[in-house]
């Protein structure tokens, strides 16, 4: 069987790997000039290791990607440090990533600690997500955590992630985040780019062809039931085709989709991502030496909050800066709607906006601490799961025979990430193998 795959992100590569191992011919088309999608990295001339364009780590519970890592013989390259996650409280950076940290957290009294611990334990150790998707995270957490804890801890996170949709997201999304988290976070020797390189090379070694800078324009069904993929004015014909783009892009690419399936695609909402990466001469968060800092937020309009982005990630408080030429690496990250000004603002203006807030984290910060900066943006980065989202997810098997679709919007109730990209890529590959047990 000959299979075409649109997109060389983690899902597309994982699917290609399994299909090739089953003995089929696979051709992958990628619009960018690199593989790996949102997990791909970049490298400064002073660095030993590449760095992710969009901050990444694994949880110890991420079985799908850890399993693939073992199959690729990379288990020795995966390690799990224990960094510190903190929150801002009354202008201070305060650890908030363990029961001990909750007990000593200055914003909590003993009743708050008990309530926070009990409700969090319920979400961590039970699986009621089908009931939880029927209620918003905003209403459920207000009720069970209480207004004080909700406004202090959870509301800023929801605002940061979902902006104008923060009161509409269902509680199953929050359950999934808490259910799988681990205190130790996984990273690769050589960064996630090392994993991408090995997976890409393995696909090619198995006979897979990967064409970069080849955006697919159209996927249409032929009279004989096969699928034509049009790329750069040329047409390739396949027995089956897997598309791993955004739902909106897929809706424009596949005109043969029936209206009901097309309606499901168009009803899916998502947020874009903006990440400003700073290579600094000095560390920003030293006491405590925080990796991930959750930022306070009161307004869905990010520009009206004291700190105008969602998360501050000091990567070199997690991974030794010796791999980055001694630089201290800072990510200033945010999720915004695809039409938000951050998606179009010039890099120097956005850097000025973001760095002007850093003295609130460290009063000693000065702009000349920044040696170099990079800006990366993605229009499709965070699905927005509304009430009863499971009823509205497009099937991996589209109504067009032989045409499949796999995106981060379909990993629900889990949140997007490399683990679930591997899982959904391998799952759709199994569907293709089940549907085409023999070559046509």
Residue 137 lies in a domain: yes
- 355 and 274 in a common domain: yes
- 107 and 68 in a common domain: no
- 274 and 258 in a common domain: no
Q: Specify whether the CB–CB gap between 340 and 332 falls below 8 A.
A: no
CATH of the domain at 342: 3.90.660.10
- According to the model, what pLDDT value does residue 11 have? 98
Q: What does the alpha-carbon distance between residue 384 and residue 393 come to, in Å, rounded to a whole number?
A: 12
Q: How confident is the model at residue 59 (pLDDT cuts 50, 70, 90)?
A: very high
Average pLDDT, the chain: 95
Query: What are the φ and ψ backbone dihedral angles of 31, each rounded to 5 degrees?
Result: -70, -35
Q: Per-residue pLDDT averaged across 209-223, rounded?
A: 97
Task: Count CA atoms within 13 Å of residue 152 on its CB side.
Answer: 19
End-to-end CA distance of the chain: 7
- 135 and 198 in a common domain: no
Domain boundary among 138, 153, 180: 180
- 205 and 154 in a common domain: no
Residue 69 lies in a domain: yes
Domain boundary among 180, 209, 242: 180
Segments in 10-98 forming alpha helices (H): 10-21, 63-71
- 364 and 405 in a common domain: no
Query: What are the φ and ψ backbone dihedral angles of 128, each rounded to 5 degrees?
Result: -95, 35
- 419 and 297 in a common domain: no
- According to the model, what pLDDT value does residue 21 have? 97
Q: Specify whether the CB–CB gap between 412 and 383 falls below 8 A.
A: yes
Residue 423 lies in a domain: yes
- 417 and 375 in a common domain: no
Residue 89 lies in a domain: no
Q: Per-residue pLDDT averaged across 238-249, rounded?
A: 97
Q: What does the alpha-carbon distance between residue 438 and residue 321 come to, in Å, rounded to a whole number?
A: 51
Query: What are the φ and ψ backbone dihedral angles of 193, each rounded to 5 degrees?
Result: -60, -30
Asked if residue 214 has pLDDT above 60, the reply is yes
Residue 82 lies in a domain: no
DSSP letter at 286? -
- 130-176 pLDDT, tens digit per residue, is 999 999 999 999 999 999 999 999 999 999 999 999 999 999 999 99
Residue 355 lies in a domain: yes
Q: Per-residue pLDDT averaged across 354-381, rounded?
A: 97
Q: Is the peptide bond before 413 cis (omega within 30 degrees of 0)?
A: yes
Q: How much of the chain exceeds pLDDT 70, in percent?
A: 99
Q: How confident is the model at residue 110 (pLDDT cuts 50, 70, 90)?
A: very high
Which helix H or strand E contains 84, and what residues bound it?
strand 84-89
Asked if residue 432 has pLDDT above 50, the reply is yes
Q: What does the alpha-carbon distance between residue 323 and residue 99 come to, in Å, rounded to a whole number?
A: 32
Domain boundary among 125, 156, 180: 180
Owning domain of residue 161:
97-180
Segments in 254-327 forming alpha helices (H): 259-267
- According to the model, what pLDDT value does residue 438 have? 64
Q: How confident is the model at residue 437 (pLDDT cuts 50, 70, 90)?
A: confident
Residue 85 lies in a domain: no
- 353 and 255 in a common domain: no
- 374 and 337 in a common domain: yes
- 310 and 359 in a common domain: yes
CA 245, 251, 253, 255 torsion: positive or negative? positive
Q: Specify whether the CB–CB gap between 66 and 422 falls below 8 A.
A: no
CATH of the domain at 46: 3.50.50.60
Count structural domains, the chain.
3
- According to the model, what pLDDT value does residue 440 have? 46
- 328 and 347 in a common domain: yes
Residue 262 lies in a domain: yes
């Amino acid at each position: 069987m000959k299979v075409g795959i649109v997109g060389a992100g983690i899902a597309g590569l994982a699917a290609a790997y399994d299909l090739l191992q089953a003995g089929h011919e696979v051709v992958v088309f990628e619009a960018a000039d690199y593989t790996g999608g949102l997990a791909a990295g970049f490298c400064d001339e002073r660095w030993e290791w590449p760095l992710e364009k969009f901050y990444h780590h694994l949880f110890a519970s991420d079985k799908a990607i850890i399993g693939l890592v073992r199959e690729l013989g990379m288990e020795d390259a995966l390690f799990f440090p224990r960094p510190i996650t903190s929150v801002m409280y009354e202008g201070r950076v305060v650890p908030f990533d363990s029961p001990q940290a909750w007990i000593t957290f200055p914003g909590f009294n003993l009743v708050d600690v008990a309530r926070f611990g009990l409700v969090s334990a319920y979400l961590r150790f039970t699986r009621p997500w089908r009931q939880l998707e029927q209620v918003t995270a905003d209403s459920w957490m207000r009720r069970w955590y209480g207004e004080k804890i909700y406004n202090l801890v959870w509301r800023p996170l929801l605002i940061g992630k979902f902006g104008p949709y923060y009161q509409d997201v269902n509680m199953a999304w929050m359950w999934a985040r808490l259910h799988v988290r681990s205190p130790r976070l996984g990273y690769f020797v050589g960064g996630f780019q090392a994993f991408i390189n090995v997976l890409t090379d393995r696909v090619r070694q198995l006979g897979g062809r990967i064409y970069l800078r080849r955006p697919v324009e159209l996927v249409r069904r032929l009279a004989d039931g096969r699928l034509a993929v049009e790329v750069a004015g040329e047409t390739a014909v396949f027995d089956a085709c897997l598309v791993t783009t955004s739902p909106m892009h897929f809706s424009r690419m596949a005109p043969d989709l029936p209206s009901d399936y097309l309606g499901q695609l168009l009803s899916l909402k998502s947020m874009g991502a903006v990440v400003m990466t700073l290579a600094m001469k000095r560390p920003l968060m030293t006491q405590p030496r925080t990796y991930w800092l959750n930022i306070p937020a009161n307004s869905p309009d990010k520009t009206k909050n004291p700190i105008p982005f969602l998360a501050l990630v000091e990567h070199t408080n997690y991974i030794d800066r010796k791999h980055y030429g001694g630089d201290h690496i800072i990510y200033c990250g945010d999720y915004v709607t695809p039409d938000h000004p951050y998606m179009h603002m010039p890099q120097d203006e956005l850097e000025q906006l973001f760095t002007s807030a850093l003295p609130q984290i460290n009063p000693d910060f000065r702009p000349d601490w920044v040696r170099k900066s990079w800006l990366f943006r993605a229009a499709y980065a965070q699905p927005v799961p509304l009430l009863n989202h499971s009823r509205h997810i497009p099937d991996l098997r589209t109504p067009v025979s032989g045409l499949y679709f796999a995106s981060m919007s379909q990993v629900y109730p889990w949140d997007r990430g490399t683990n679930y990209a591997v899982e959904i890529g391998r799952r759709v590959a199994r569907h293709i193998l089940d549907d085409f047990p023999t070559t046509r």
